[in-house]
Structure 1
Amino acid sequence: MEAYANVLLYAIPMLFSFVILEAGYSWCKGTRVFRSLDTISSISSGVANTLKSVLGLTVFIIGYEKMETHLAIYEVQASWQTYLIAFLSLDFATYWSHRLSHEVNFFWNKHVVHHTSEEYNLAVALRQPISEFVSLFFIFMFPAALLGVPPEVVAILTPVHFLLQFWIHTPHIGKLGVLEYIIVTPSQHRVHHALNDIYIDKNLSGVFCIWDRLFGTFQEELDEEPPVYGSTRPLDTWNPIKQNFAHLLMLIRDAWYTNSWWDKLRIWFMPTGWRPEDVQSRFPVRSVDQHSLVKFDTRASPALHAWSWFQCVLTTLMLMHLLLYFKEIGFPDLFIYGAFLFLTIYAYTALMDKDKNAFWIEGLRCLFGLAIIWYTADWFALPALRWVVAAELLISLAVVGWFVRESTYVNTENTKYSTLSNSTG
């Protein structure tokens, strides 16, 4: 995990730099593909996912190393051919894991956050899950394991494969000619993020589009059908923690309230979005299409925008601190720091949502942070920081209290949030 943390120290500034460059380009071109709170939500989701990953909070049902040890029929040495086979295998596994997420109710929960934004830009690529605690991904690496591709080759290529899917989340690159038949392009991935009927659950490949063309899930972007982004069952929240667990909570609730024992069992494995008829009539959910979607917006004041950006940047800097001092902080303090940062993200995005409980959530964060300082006389390997953090916690609580007391804080149009989601393709 320490090596992974070191890689992230370089990857995070690079990805954020591209987001800033795209935002600047968009501003110069006069196109509005970024919205302030939506972008903060995307970045916050990326921070939360990074925390989950670096703390090793995902359990793989079958690890690749173990599978390769027991199933390999060849013993191959690392060469360019080996790397090519491994990369194609990763892409194949990505396609089927991704397709499973779009087609099975239970697995949609780990992917829904990536489709929650109603914009399309590089920041959306940062919307990665924290709700995937059990992963089936490496089961689809069976062909590579059978051929004896070394685990170290897979370990090197996995982050590379992920980063190569970052650039396709942009509206500023059109169709790329012959490359449209070889790789996944921004045009193809715009289709994937659209809720238009013709686009839903299409273009599921990671790097090479051959899988979509081979398995019947390819759809070209049509000039007469501009993509409309978002979920067919909007979540109406900026909070990435809520976004990650909304679908799972719906499944649990529906399984509990349905009168059919058969439905209680099969709801988890039915197509994404399926609900028992009795709970669907008792607990109807709002559904939209490309014609009826109205983008979620809490109409925040300039002061709230500025404060939210401050909290987002501060949280990102704290994440960088955790990565930089990963070894010195050590376990279990890394988990304590991670819990504090998760709570921080929940707190300031609750404020962005204009949640009536935002002050109490911020109060809990303040108490948690002050308790860490009190018991350790430290702030995670940097003792001098404890006074700065303590001051920030108290000031933050006062600022949030001021926002909540403002008569314009509560937005009556957005005081109720959907806790449901559906496949958006």
Structure 2
Amino acid sequence: MSLVTLAIPFFLLAVLVELALDRWRGWGLYRLNDALGSLSAGILSRILGLIRVGILMLLYIPLYQWLEPTYRQLGLTWSLDNPWHLVLAVIAYDFCYYWKHRISHEINIFWAEHLVHHQSEDYNLTTALRQSSDLVPLGWIFYLPLLLIGMPPEVLITAGAIDLIYQFWVHTQKFPKVQWMEWILVTPSNHRVHHAQNRVYVDRNYGGVLIVWDRLFGTYQEELEHEPCIYGVRKPLNTFDPLAANLQHFKRMWLDAVYTKSWKEKFTLWFRATGYRPADAEADLPYPSCNLDHFRRYDPRLTPGPRYYALAQHLCYSAATLALLWSSKNLDYGTVALIVAMLVIGLVINGRILDGEARTRGWEQARLVLLVVTLPLLPQVVWMPLLAYAGISMTIWRMLVFPQKGDTVSPVSQ
């Protein structure tokens, strides 16, 4: 089991601690809908990872094995038992991560993958768990240079997990600026800058563990006291659906490719600078950026019933995801794929419930019926719990939504 999977319960515990402090101190860092949107994106990322092939290891392992005799001749040896080897591995990995992260902000198709992590208009520990699902995986390219120093696959995987786990704690607004740390490490202060959409902060501070890369390559920006961070992206997502979050920029690029009349543009816009659009496509299909002087977070107004129903469903999906991550190796691929598909459907509908989408009245009922229909394809041990879950959920959902056909949804300013 990966280090990241083992760390998930500790991540969730830290979120609960920060949430409790937020409610106790009245900080206002958490909104239920935004937090669930971020956590849902994180769940989607983890479960889709169970049913796709990891391209990096698919290429890295045979290339490493091919080069292994050369490494032996050169005396290039690595060991996870040697702490200094692990330190050097994390530094080397973080250098590659810096360039991957930077390019992800600078080129359209890479931004389409990375954008998910920046869509949250809040900044708290749930933002750290808001990860892309790599629907078009490209990031592996940036780690192949680690073959040049003979880094074994198991060392690469461990260094990558440490790099990712480290980045969790920097997604908080309540850790103060510590000057000596700002020179060496990625901290909550300089990472807040990275997530801000203010002009002075955009496309800065790309490091994962070390901020020295940004200082060396001219992309460092200190957090300014007179410039509070405004979180999110300039073209807001405006939904809590995690699948839509992953498709947001891909959809826009696809529509640009359809609308533009230039065949050259149809093929090159994917690899142009982030935000580039063909002139004719932009004229026919404008996407206005948000006004930072009058910024309003996306926050549909819902009655308490659907909001808490969505929270309860999210807790069920979280428990199912943890169980699946722990037991997936004992299940056949078809069963895992079916469970993943049912979870994806649930996450999408739950996000739309938080949006106040009227059609979820029928969608949620259809999801629960579909779950019951697919029970014979699942392990028999889960039949009774899932049948009870479906029956209770259907009863509560029908009680909540059908007497309230006049509900309206409107954005509110925060």
Q: Which amino acid aligns with 1:199?
A: Y
1:409 corresponding residue in structure 2: 407
1:317 partnered with 2:319: yes
Q: Which amino acid aligns with 2:150?
A: G
Looking at structure 1, the residues matched to 218 and 5 of structure 2 have their Cα atoms a distance apart, in angstroms, of 39
Normalising by structure 1, what TM-score?
Answer: 0.89
Do 1:196 and 1:289's aligned partners in 2 also have CA atoms closer than 8 Å? no
1:411 shift after superposition: 1.5
Q: Which amino acid aligns with 1:55?
A: I
Looking at structure 1, the residues matched to 83 and 133 of structure 2 have their Cα atoms a distance apart, in angstroms, of 34
1:266 corresponding residue in structure 2: 268
Looking at structure 2, the residues matched to 332 and 139 of structure 1 have their Cα atoms a distance apart, in angstroms, of 32
2:133 corresponding residue in structure 1: 130
2:51 corresponding residue in structure 1: 55
Looking at structure 1, the residues matched to 247 and 134 of structure 2 have their Cα atoms a distance apart, in angstroms, of 7
1:251 shift after superposition: 0.7
1:212 partnered with 2:214: yes
1:76 partnered with 2:77: yes
Q: Percent identity at matched positions?
A: 30
Looking at structure 1, the residues matched to 397 and 363 of structure 2 have their Cα atoms a distance apart, in angstroms, of 10
Aligned 1:127-276 pairs, distance under 5 A:
127-142=130-145, 144-276=146-278
1:107 corresponding residue in structure 2: 110
1:394 shift after superposition: 4.0
Residue of structure 1 aligned with 2:96, choices 93, 101, 117: 93
Give the SS at the match of 1:18.
helix
Root mean square deviation of aligned Cα: 2.1
Do 1:356 and 1:404's aligned partners in 2 also have CA atoms closer than 8 Å? no
1:76 shift after superposition: 1.5
Residue of structure 2 aligned with 1:116, choices 112, 119, 130: 119
In structure 2, runs of 5+ residues without a counterpart are: none
1:369 shift after superposition: 1.1
1:24-59 Cα shifts (integer Å, max 9, x gaps): 122232211011111111111111111122334543
Q: 1:57 to 1:338 in 2, by over 3 A?
A: farther
1:44 corresponding residue in structure 2: 40
Do 1:93 and 1:138's aligned partners in 2 also have CA atoms closer than 8 Å? no
Looking at structure 1, the residues matched to 275 and 295 of structure 2 have their Cα atoms a distance apart, in angstroms, of 18
Q: Which amino acid aligns with 2:286?
A: P
Aligned 1:274-353 pairs, distance under 5 A:
274-353=276-355
1:292 shift after superposition: 2.6
Q: 1:100 to 1:173 in 2, by over 3 A?
A: same
Aligned residues: 404
1:329 shift after superposition: 2.2
1:174-194 Cα shifts (integer Å, max 9, x gaps): 111211110000000000000
1:370-398 Cα shifts (integer Å, max 9, x gaps): 2221x33xx43xx3431331232244345
Looking at structure 2, the residues matched to 413 and 223 of structure 1 have their Cα atoms a distance apart, in angstroms, of 29
User: In proportion to residue count, which structure has more helix?
Assistant: 2
Q: 1:190 to 1:319 in 2, by over 3 A?
A: same
1:231-289 Cα shifts (integer Å, max 9, x gaps): 10011111111111011011111101111112111110111111111111111112114
Q: 1:364 to 1:34 in 2, by over 3 A?
A: same
Do 1:58 and 1:132's aligned partners in 2 also have CA atoms closer than 8 Å? no
Normalising by structure 2, what TM-score?
Answer: 0.91
Do 2:99 and 2:142's aligned partners in 1 also have CA atoms closer than 8 Å? no
1:74-120 Cα shifts (integer Å, max 9, x gaps): 33142344323311111011111111111111111111111111110
Looking at structure 1, the residues matched to 114 and 91 of structure 2 have their Cα atoms a distance apart, in angstroms, of 22
1:355 partnered with 2:351: no
Do 1:195 and 1:289's aligned partners in 2 also have CA atoms closer than 8 Å? no
Q: Which amino acid aligns with 2:318?
A: T
Looking at structure 2, the residues matched to 77 and 275 of structure 1 have their Cα atoms a distance apart, in angstroms, of 46
Looking at structure 1, the residues matched to 399 and 407 of structure 2 have their Cα atoms a distance apart, in angstroms, of 9
Q: 1:59 to 1:360 in 2, by over 3 A?
A: farther
Looking at structure 2, the residues matched to 8 and 150 of structure 1 have their Cα atoms a distance apart, in angstroms, of 19
In structure 1, runs of 5+ residues without a counterpart are: 415-425
